[in-house]
Structure 1
């Protein structure tokens, strides 16, 4: 292109600065610390005049080698406060130079599909979208602080040194996805701190090798998926902390996080099947302490967690745990874990009780383990209609399904006391007065309660009147207690 008259004065400055990579500043950028996402991007860039306007074609030509590099310098395009007109389009091209835009306004979306580039930094800029599917970045891509009014598409892209969207605001047209990153690979950190996305993030099958930071991020997609990341792999940590907010489902089904997954923000999605869909996951450490109980159904079904830490104060009302396995539970509320496993909105599931009881035994808490097993039997629907429910109720109140055998002793002692008093005041008549031993109301009642007579009193005396009914009741009660005790203990030893 050379020093062609077709270059404006502003473009000539860019052309001349390229060989040495100098910054071309058309106007200073005012950056406010702690500003909301995208607030530092220009709002009036479409009104900037020719003195700070550069055609995208000029930038693309420089990036593709239209001008030779300077001696002893690293060429690059670095602009501050410029308006970029026309499409910045490099489809399938190989870019050997860095592109840095700060506080710039772009009239049209950037098209980099299938390209290979160096570091791309578009900070505090305003642009109508980025299409970069399948691109390879030998460096990092940064949209930090920018305001993007269209979707960001980086599916199947590869980033060697990170993907930075800290403080980025993405607000596409209604019904468009804010961020599409299926199957992308980031070999360093993925930073979306304090970002603001309207339309949701889609990152199915993405691989993030340097962690995933969503600290303070806002994800908005009411009635849909705020984060759709099935099958995502995160090395190191994934943090949804600070003022993190998801209005819509956070979906991580089948994802693997080889480190810490920390959720301390807010998730609200009552209008979707799940608010947090974290089934079939593998997580080394799950820190589940949201700022408020998650509004909607939470599922951890069939996930594998090494260490799970949570807080009873933030347990969701509807929690699916069927198939969840864990090696360690941390946090307060150990005695309330039975309540924790009983919140499945679909009703009774035995596996959460069994998993909890097994962990309690490993943790040395035999009492709570037995209480958990008892709770499982109480929650289990009884078979056999009314008879089955009646038998189950009898097992519960007499021996606690075998986990509270001392209840049988209490019932036995109570009935023995009643019989001793009643028959002591109303002794039965002897069947053979000449041969009968002296009557003992305690021994007589004891004999009635046992299936087999021990003291020989039951066969020698015959109650009369209403005490005869009491005697029959004691005999039946004794048989029921014995049967319940045997059935309960058998059930504990060989659970069904």
Structure 2
């Protein structure tokens, strides 16, 4: 097709430069108003991309435009675009529509536009929005970006509180998704997205207070997901059921739900090789890692929120802080469950700290005791004081030794009277007599041969009863250890 009539000077330059892919520079900055020598109609760009201009052998045709004020709507919906589009320092008056379009490389860097409609877009090259300002929704649902997504230092602002700034459900990004140092107001939706080259969001601010800063349920990230180096999320980060085949890092980040009773990080049912949960300051809001499977968790007591959900969490390694801090870690789950204690005790056993494993099991029983009725609670107190629920059997021997010393002293002062003839009874010994009272079975024959008198009779009764209680508690405690569930 020959050059159409009615083109202005800027459009005429672009039309003639297209067959060879020569860049057309109308200015080195982004025009805020419709400067006459910079105006280019979007329909002219669309005609060039869709084959209205003849190409030239030996050259790669492309639209490369810099510093233009683009009026009208660039609408390539459903089209097949075999040529590269590169817009730099351009001002687009209307939302470009590339829904369900098949294209090559797309570059909208340092541009300003009222939104971007790329739902179902398929780009064999990359999509670049770096340093652009988008005052509306960036729609990339079901898009396939085989060369990656680049939007470093971009600014995206939703038009209403209930609207998403970036809507990328089902997005597929090969090579890598680079969103470093962005300012995104309104929340990011990456539900079901797949990032095969990693997700890089260092230094980015997600601002959506009281709502979802990011909704990335069922997202899959290969390689690394970096929400680190001054990454800031004001709102909820929802990564439920997401899978990270590599590192998920919140190193030197800020997680702020906006309120202590809101969820700051919802990462339940998550699968991850390595979680670096070490933001620059204490997490404000709740954190859920329930039913997640993580090989390595690296965090620190200084950043733990006041409320954690850890039921069902399975991990292989814990790092950060002292080992004894982990008891406080699991105690921050306000809902009592056996599994977090069992998992932590198993990990302590695995790293050779059996004494800490016993402390965890003991803490589990004490926490469980708070939820019992009065009678079972009283019995649990008895098990704790006497044998430490079986995890501290030495307590029973300490009690036993103290009672033996007390009984020996009492019956040395006030000896019992014999009840058998001298030839039939053994020689009285206060120590052995006390042992006979404490041991539930008549072992040494002293108890049957002598009868306490006066006030010491009540001491003898108390020792007999205490002996039975200690024996029962020891048996119950050992049984509980062998059958903890």
Tell me the TM-score normalized by structure 2.
Answer: 0.96
C-alpha offsets along residues 210-235 of structure 1, whole Å, 9 cap, x if unaligned?
A: 00011111111111110001111111
Does residue 1:268 correspond to 2:268, yes or no? no
Does residue 1:314 correspond to 2:303, yes or no? yes
1:236-385 matched pairs, under 5 angstroms: 236-264=223-251, 265-271=253-259, 273-345=262-334, 347-381=335-369, 385=373
The answer for the alignment partner of 2:429 in structure 1 is 440
The answer for the alignment partner of 1:126 in structure 2 is 112
C-alpha contact (below 8 Å) 1:230/1:251 kept by paired residues: yes
Does residue 1:10 correspond to 2:7, yes or no? no
CA separation of 1:407/1:464 partners in 2, compared to 1, >3 Å: closer, same or farther?
Answer: same
Does residue 1:147 correspond to 2:133, yes or no? yes
> In structure 1, what is the Cα distance between the partners aligned to 2:339 and 2:39?
65
**How far off is 1:101 after superposition?**
1.1
C-alpha contact (below 8 Å) 1:270/1:297 kept by paired residues: no
C-alpha offsets along residues 24-74 of structure 1, whole Å, 9 cap, x if unaligned?
A: 111224xxxxxxxxxxxx4xx342411111111111111111112223211
SS of match in other structure, 1:380: helix
Residues matched between the structures, number: 481
Q: CA RMSD in A?
A: 1.6
SS of match in other structure, 1:360: helix
CA separation of 1:367/1:19 partners in 2, compared to 1, >3 Å: closer, same or farther?
Answer: same
Q: Which runs of 4+ in 1 moved over 4 A?
A: 270-273
> In structure 2, what is the Cα distance between the partners aligned to 1:244 and 1:352?
30
Q: Which runs of 5+ in 1 are unaligned?
A: 30-41
C-alpha offsets along residues 400-419 of structure 1, whole Å, 9 cap, x if unaligned?
A: 11111111000000111111
**How far off is 1:428 after superposition?**
2.4
The answer for the alignment partner of 2:380 in structure 1 is 392
> In structure 1, what is the Cα distance between the partners aligned to 2:310 and 2:438?
45
C-alpha offsets along residues 371-399 of structure 1, whole Å, 9 cap, x if unaligned?
A: 21111111114787322111111111111
C-alpha contact (below 8 Å) 1:88/1:110 kept by paired residues: yes
Q: 1:493 aligns with which of 470, 482, 485?
A: 482
**How far off is 1:460 after superposition?**
2.3
> In structure 2, what is the Cα distance between the partners aligned to 1:247 and 1:296?
10
The answer for the alignment partner of 1:99 in structure 2 is 85
1:35-114 matched pairs, under 5 angstroms: 42=30, 45-114=31-100
**How far off is 1:344 after superposition?**
1.2
> In structure 2, what is the Cα distance between the partners aligned to 1:80 and 1:222?
36
Q: Which runs of 5+ in 2 are unaligned?
A: none
**How far off is 1:318 after superposition?**
0.8
> In structure 2, what is the Cα distance between the partners aligned to 1:412 and 1:270?
56
The answer for the alignment partner of 2:194 in structure 1 is 207
The answer for the alignment partner of 1:221 in structure 2 is 208
C-alpha contact (below 8 Å) 2:19/2:61 kept by paired residues: yes
C-alpha contact (below 8 Å) 1:88/1:111 kept by paired residues: yes
Tell me the TM-score normalized by structure 1.
Answer: 0.94
**How far off is 1:495 after superposition?**
2.2
CA separation of 1:479/1:383 partners in 2, compared to 1, >3 Å: closer, same or farther?
Answer: farther
**How far off is 1:454 after superposition?**
2.4
SS of match in other structure, 2:27: coil
C-alpha offsets along residues 310-344 of structure 1, whole Å, 9 cap, x if unaligned?
A: 21221221111111111222233222212212211
